[in-house]
């Protein structure tokens, strides 16, 4: 969940900028876009962590399936809100794009800087001295 913090920060910045440039409709669009990204990615990460604990061999399949489902839901949301007057749809779409890129970059950075054991201690052959 290390990616949530920079994504929320970017969402707040997007909301402030959209508020100045597009008024209240831009503010609402930016907030909705930010919330959707944080919910989508946080839920996906929680599901993937649960799958990794139970059955790590299907993790990549589940990750790809979740990605396709998220894209499908996002497409449906964009179609549903295409002609809405409740908020600025361009700000909404742009905020989703920027927050998604920030979340992804933060995840890549977190994974790249993590200290991951490549060999599990004690998993090798039992070598006892004197044999």
CA 24 – CA 30 distance, rounded (Å) = 10
Report whether pLDDT(118) > 70: no
Please give the model's pTM, rounded to 2 decimal places: 0.79
What would the two tokens of residue 96 be? 């989703």
In terms of phi and psi (left: phi > 0; alpha: psi -120 to 50; beta: otherwise), the region of 122 is left
Report whether pLDDT(51) > 60: yes
Q: What is the pLDDT of residues 55-106, one digit of tens each?
A: 888 888 998 998 899 889 888 988 888 888 889 999 999 999 999 999 989 9
Rounded to an integer, the average pLDDT of 100-113 is 87
Query: What confidence tier does 27 reach under pLDDT thresholds 50, 70, 90?
Result: very high
Please name the residue that has the structure tokens 């669009």.
29
Percent of the chain past pLDDT 70, that is, above it, reads 88
Q: Where are the domains of the chain?
A: 4-109
């Amino acid at each position: 969940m290390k990616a949530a913090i920079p994504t929320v920060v970017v969402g707040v910045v997007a909301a402030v900028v959209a508020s100045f440039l597009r008024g209240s409709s831009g503010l609402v669009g930016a907030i909705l876009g930010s919330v959707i990204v944080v919910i989508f990615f946080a839920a996906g990460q929680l599901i993937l962590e649960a799958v990794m604990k139970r059955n790590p061999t299907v993790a990549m399949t589940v990750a790809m399936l979740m990605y396709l489902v998220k894209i499908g839901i996002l497409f449906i949301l964009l179609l549903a809100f295409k002609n809405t007057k409740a908020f600025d749809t361009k700000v909404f779409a742009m905020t989703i794009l920027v927050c998604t890129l920030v979340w992804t970059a933060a995840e890549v950075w977190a994974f790249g800087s993590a200290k991951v054991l490549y060999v599990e201690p004690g998993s090798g052959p039992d070598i006892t001295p004197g044999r």
